[in-house]
Structure formats: structure tokens, C-alpha cells
Amino acid sequence: MRPRELSRPSSSRRRRPRPEPALAALLVSAACATATLPAPGVAERAAAAVSWSGSVRVSVKGEDLRGRSRVLLAFRRPDAVRIEIPGPSGARLLAVVRAGRLTAVLPAEHAFLESEAGAADIEALLGVALSPGELMDVLVGVAPPGLRDYRARWGPTLPRRVEAVLGDGTRLEATVDEAEAGVDLRDAVFAPPRHEGHRRVDAAEARRLLTGRRP
């Protein structure tokens, strides 16, 4: 911004008319909206990504669950997802979805969960009613059917922040600190976490252990 002129402007100069307040607000709004949109072709390439890996700060606000955490996420289409929630002295949760099955391990609690991997099963554990495919879409800028609202702020190649309101009213916000699409993810990334000697728990118990809430 240039400093204001200290001298009075010459009468021969014409002042540009100031836009009306409503028009000015519209221009500002349009500029902000444009800044969140991807460049041409970027959204299509992101949606077509076969794999994705990144670090995300996630906030969930639902009827019976509120929390936030850093999450390490990776997926490989069509059906493989890895979710790791780190803790101060190791992983708090290691969860892998593959071929329609969910295996989740809580190492510090010596507990594990095995179940189907539909939206209801993931909601029971993590409070987010998204199927693996829907979770993949959310991360690459595609709004799955059934969402009440979905907004993505884009970086050069991928969304940098996602805000979604799910069908049940749960609010999901994800800020992507770093991410890469099209990475070569080996089968070992999506191997079920080892859980020899761990006790089996159901989703409700696993969620209680993860959140630290008492029954």
C-alpha cells in the first residue's frame, strides 16, 4: 500500500468513484472465494488420485464425541486405508482397513478390535460416519453424497483444509499439514497391525480407551 499524499490533490485530477458498500462487499467476497478454488485441471487430477499420504490435524464435533488430534493417514484405492494417531510415547491408535475389514490396535492398552469396515463401523470407533471410499474422496476435494455441507480450501495440487457437515450433523474439520498424491504405497503399509497377546475389545470399549472417557 502506498503512503497517502501529504499535499492536497490538484483540482485537475479526477477522483475515482468509490464503489457502493454492497458492491465492495461482493467484490471482497468473490476474491476470497476465488482464492479457495483450485487451478484448472487440479481438482480433476486430485479426484483421480489412486493413492494419498499425509499428516492432518483433525477436529470432530458430534452429538456424543468432541475431540481433536493429529492423524497420519494413507490410502490406496479402491479399499485400503491406514490411520495412525500418534501419542507422546508411541502410537495411540493404529487402524487399517483392507478388503472390507477393519483392524484397530491400541498399543498402550494392549487391546485390539476387528470388525467390518463400513461407515457405521468407522463411526463406532472414530465418531465419523464415512465409508473408506468416502473418506478418500473428502481428502482429495470430492464431496460424497449425503453430506449436508462440504468446503475445501485448495493448495497448489490438493486441498489444504476441508470442512464438512455429515448427514448426522457431525462437523469434521481437517487441516492438512503435508500431503502427497500418487505415492507408491506398498502392501506392507496396509497390513493389519500386529496384536499378539492383546485382548479383544468391541468398538465402544476401543473408543472409550482412545478418548479416555469413563463409561
What is the pLDDT at residue 123? Answer: 95
Q: For residues 22 and 24, what is the distance between their CA atoms, to the nearest angstrom?
A: 5
Whether residue 132 is contained in a domain is answered as: yes
Q: Is residue 17 part of a domain?
A: no
With 80 as the cut, is the pLDDT of residue 214 above it?
no
**What's the confidence (pLDDT) of residue 5?**
34
As for how many domains the chain has, the answer is 1
**Parent domain of 62:** 52-209
> Residues 108, 129, 135, 149: what is their CA dihedral angle, to the nearest 10 degrees?
-130
pLDDT at 163 over 90: yes
pLDDT of residue 15: 44
Kindly state whether residue 82 falls inside one of the protein's structural domains: yes
Residue 9 lies in a domain: no
Answer yes or no: is pLDDT of 35 > 50.
no
Which CATH number fits the domain that encloses residue 102? 2.50.20.10
What does the pLDDT average to over 20-26?
33
Q: Is the pLDDT of residue 28 over 80?
A: no
User: 42-52: per-residue pLDDT in tens?
Assistant: 999 999 999 99
Residues contacting 15, CB < 8 A, separation 6+: 9
Query: Does residue 119 lie within any of the structural domains?
Result: yes
Is 112 a member of any domain? yes
pLDDT band at 29 (very low <50, low <70, confident <90, very high): very low
- pTM here? 0.81
d(CA 143, CA 69): 22
Separation CA 122–CA 176 (nearest Å): 21
**What is the pLDDT averaged over residues 35-58?**
92
Q: What span, in angstroms and rounded, lies between the C-alpha atoms of 144 and 62?
A: 18
126-150 pLDDT tens trace:
999 999 999 999 999 999 999 999 9
Confidence of residue 64 (pLDDT cuts 50, 70, 90): confident
In a domain, 203, yes or no: yes
Does 33 map to a domain? Answer: no
Average pLDDT, the chain: 86
pLDDT (0 to 100) of residue 65: 79
**Averaged over 29-52, what is the pLDDT?**
76
